[in-house]
Structure 1
Amino acid sequence: MKVLHVITGLAAGGAEQQLRFLLPHLRARCDVAVLTGSGVVADAIARTGVPVHQVGMRGNRDLRAVGRLARLMRRHRYEVVHTHLYRACVYGRLAARLANVPAIVATEHSIGREHIEGRRLTLPVRALYLASELLGHLTVAVSPTVADRLAGWGVPRSRIVVIPNGVDGRAFGFDAALRRRTRLRLGVPARAFVIGGVGRLEPGKRFDTLIEALPALGSAVLLLVGSGSYEPRLRQFAGSVGAGHRLIFAGESTDVRAMLSAMDVLAAPSAEETFGLAVVEALAAGLPVLYDACPAVDDLPPGSAPGARRVPPDRLAAELAALAARPPGRLPPPEAVRLYDIRRQADRLESLYLRLLGAVPTEDQR
């Protein structure tokens, strides 16, 4: 089985990292097509031997990308096209139809109540998404929360399948030696209490609330892993509250394990998430987690993630201060990490591919 994964970009975001970690666990022969740019995740994928095709899309209205994608699909005779992120879903599903690809799947990673991948959900954005959805066969929602939002848009439930994101717990296990090396490289004192934030540096992630809390946290250090348009504003804000010397911008990183090993707590203050992959990765690394919105935890049975606690923004500084005063140390990975095992999710995706290709009988055919 030949599968082409089409994704908008390959910077170090949640959807991009998820694709990178998923590929080694898929038995199908997989290629990747990236619409715009490259990035650290593209390089990491290519180093594993998976071909990464650059489409060279120059803007949201570069319709030539559809033709380039369709020619790529015809040339390699892919049996499945699997799209990820808004632009890739719109352009990739159309190209797959033009190329007569037998099975067309999309994963919806980032649909929020008011935004999708940072863009406002205007009527034209929503209409274009729904029109392109009709060109595919199924849409994978990364959480029941996302499935409900898709259904609320008007996507039939029969065309939605929930397959959560996956995590390889062993790949994120805590490493004391790695912690020492990473702190040394970043210039973090060995005994410092490190608050971590992982994700795109955009307003919706609300990392400014962590910066605001820093002055009351003694010698604690804030380590932000990611990049984005909001970084200059965050730097300016840190300077204005006198916390700039205790704030480290690590930039994009494919070695998330190293960054998590260097931290003592992960804080995820975002008000809206579609899954919360960084939270599950942090739990796999044995970190306590303070979050405001995380379907990955909230959709699980109670007690599956005891190290993760919902904390509203007005309580965040106090909770961080309590942890800094009495650091809990490393926690055992909770049941949530096993429930989101990436091998299980890869098996479910491959079964979905085979069902769409007619290789696995449906319930009606049994």
Structure 2
Amino acid sequence: MRVLHVITGLDAGGAEHQLRLLLPRLPVECEVVTLSHPGVVAGAIRAGGTVVHELTMRGNRDVTVVPRLVRLIRRGGFDLVHTHLYRACVYGRVAARLAGVPAVATEHSLGDGVIEGHRTSAGVRALYLTTERLGRMTIAVSGAVTGRLLAWGVPAHRITVIPNGIDPGEFRFDPRLRDATRAELGVTPDVPVVGAVGRMVAGKRFDLLVQALPALPGTVLLLVGGGPAVPALRACATRLGVADRVIITGETAGTREWYCAMDLFVSPSPRETFGLTVLEALASGLPAVYACCPALDDVPAGGSWRRIDRPAALPGALAAGLDRGGARLPVPAVVGHYDIARAARSVADLYQRIAPRVGEGIAP
């Protein structure tokens, strides 16, 4: 059976990489359509053997994408549509209904008062709820997202929790890769490196890390990713006199080498729907400091991670984390709990319940 994944864009981001990981592990035939920005993740998905279609929209209100999606669904003989991210969920559910096939959605990015980093409005919420009724089920990536969906008015029986997953082997620490990456960056083995990974947008609060750097003499800050906040981050570093100790990689398809180069991982974002990058860092044996990580909310605190409740505590937490001297830690058991293979099995089971023909041949 055939499933069409519809996603807003394929730039480097958590939802995009999650789709990349999921596709080769689903026991059904999949293709992907992106409605904008066929970035580095599109290339990675194609390299894995999955077809990626590009139906570039001229803007958020380009309704001509609906008939184009309908034609693609019918021409491809798809049995189910799986949507990801707000714009794709809105237009993808409408197109699936018009094409006569069921739709499911994964809610990756609904935060407290924000969705995909933008403030929610009454109009956004109304459109979300109206089109939600056209689908069969919404997958929430965490209990926190479930709570927000319920607060918005999505019925409980139309929500199921399937946590995000990672491929632990993709982030396994390699000392040779560490040395090579540091050499490429011009960072000597003895220099402590604090790192963060994500899209460089204001809401992620990477500026807090730049502001903390003067209190950490001799430490390099490695920011992995790109985005509109990069100029502001560089300006902040220059103003504080630490520009020579801040490295911003720009958008990148892979992150393993960057984690290997770090000594401490930090996620300063106060709003996260899951916290994938924290788990990726733990899989690399890094100690982690974070402001929000729903994936760890129900897990007893471990020696590998520490939560900070206020920005003022960040410099002290970073100094304490660097006291470890860069030694790698054992990978905690929670990483295995969020293995992507487990998530893929749960998604496949959902497909089978919603469109039984999709589940034919799926092993129990």
Number of the residue aligned with 2:344? 346
> Is the Cα–Cα contact under 8 Å of residues 224 and 249 in structure 2 kept in the other structure?
yes
Number of the residue aligned with 1:117? 116
| 2:155 corresponds to 1:160 | no
Q: Tell me, which stretches of 5 or more residues in structure 1 are unaligned?
A: 362-366
Distance in 2 (CA, whole Å) between partners of 1:68 and 1:175 is 45
Moved over 6 A (4+): none
2:305 partner letter:
A
> Is the Cα–Cα contact under 8 Å of residues 284 and 334 in structure 1 kept in the other structure?
yes
Number of the residue aligned with 1:7? 7
Number of the residue aligned with 1:36? 36
| 2:313 corresponds to 1:315 | yes
Number of the residue aligned with 1:358? 356
Number of the residue aligned with 2:125? 126
Distance in 2 (CA, whole Å) between partners of 1:79 and 1:306 is 46
Per-residue deviation, 1:186: 2.0
Per-residue deviation, 1:328: 5.1
Number of the residue aligned with 1:45? 45
2:319 partner letter:
A
Number of the residue aligned with 1:23? 23
Where do residues 193-342 of structure 1 align in structure 2 (5 Å cutoff)? 193-298=192-297, 300-303=298-301, 305-311=302-308, 312-327=310-325, 329-342=327-340
Which region of structure 1 is more displaced relative to structure 2, 137-146 or 112-121?
112-121
Which region of structure 1 is more displaced relative to structure 2, 307-316 or 322-331?
322-331
Per-residue deviation, 1:338: 0.9
> Is the Cα–Cα contact under 8 Å of residues 199 and 225 in structure 2 kept in the other structure?
yes
Per-residue deviation, 1:359: 5.5
Number of the residue aligned with 1:364? none
The one-character-per-residue Cα deviations of 1:234-268 (angstroms, maximum 9, x if unpaired) are: 11011000111000011111221111111111100
Root-mean-square deviation over aligned CA pairs: 1.3
> Is the Cα–Cα contact under 8 Å of residues 285 and 333 in structure 1 kept in the other structure?
yes
Where do residues 50-65 of structure 1 align in structure 2 (5 Å cutoff)? 50-65=50-65
Distance in 1 (CA, whole Å) between partners of 2:54 and 2:21 is 20
The one-character-per-residue Cα deviations of 1:285-341 (angstroms, maximum 9, x if unpaired) are: 11100001110111x3314x5411101311110121223344251111111111101
1:356 partner letter:
I
Distance in 2 (CA, whole Å) between partners of 1:42 and 1:276 is 22
TM-score by length of 2: 0.96
> Is the Cα–Cα contact under 8 Å of residues 220 and 324 in structure 1 kept in the other structure?
no
Which region of structure 1 is more displaced relative to structure 2, 332-341 or 157-166?
332-341
What secondary structure sits across from 2:281 in the alignment? helix
1:107 partner letter:
T
| 2:96 corresponds to 1:96 | yes
> Is the Cα–Cα contact under 8 Å of residues 235 and 244 in structure 1 kept in the other structure?
yes
> Is the Cα–Cα contact under 8 Å of residues 103 and 135 in structure 2 kept in the other structure?
yes
Which region of structure 1 is more displaced relative to structure 2, 252-261 or 141-150?
252-261
Per-residue deviation, 1:360: 9.7
Q: Tell me, which stretches of 5 or more residues in structure 2 are unaligned?
A: 360-364
2:88 partner letter:
A
Distance in 1 (CA, whole Å) between partners of 2:210 and 2:358 is 52
Aligned residue pairs: how many?
Answer: 358
The one-character-per-residue Cα deviations of 1:177-224 (angstroms, maximum 9, x if unpaired) are: 111111122222222111111111111111111001111111100011
1:78 partner letter:
F
Distance in 2 (CA, whole Å) between partners of 1:22 and 1:124 is 32
1:245 partner letter:
D
What secondary structure sits across from 2:249 in the alignment? strand
> Is the Cα–Cα contact under 8 Å of residues 264 and 326 in structure 2 kept in the other structure?
no
Number of the residue aligned with 1:69? 69
| 2:169 corresponds to 1:170 | yes
> Is the Cα–Cα contact under 8 Å of residues 7 and 84 in structure 2 kept in the other structure?
yes
Per-residue deviation, 1:350: 0.3
Distance in 2 (CA, whole Å) between partners of 1:309 and 1:339 is 19
Where do residues 70-89 of structure 1 align in structure 2 (5 Å cutoff)? 70-89=70-89
What secondary structure sits across from 1:19 in the alignment? helix
CA spacing shift, 1:193–1:64, aligned 2, 3 Å: same
Distance in 1 (CA, whole Å) between partners of 2:81 and 2:182 is 41
Which region of structure 1 is more displaced relative to structure 2, 35-44 or 182-191?
182-191
Distance in 2 (CA, whole Å) between partners of 1:51 and 1:197 is 31
Per-residue deviation, 1:354: 0.6
Distance in 2 (CA, whole Å) between partners of 1:19 and 1:358 is 22
> Is the Cα–Cα contact under 8 Å of residues 4 and 81 in structure 2 kept in the other structure?
yes
1:74 partner letter:
R
Distance in 2 (CA, whole Å) between partners of 1:188 and 1:62 is 47
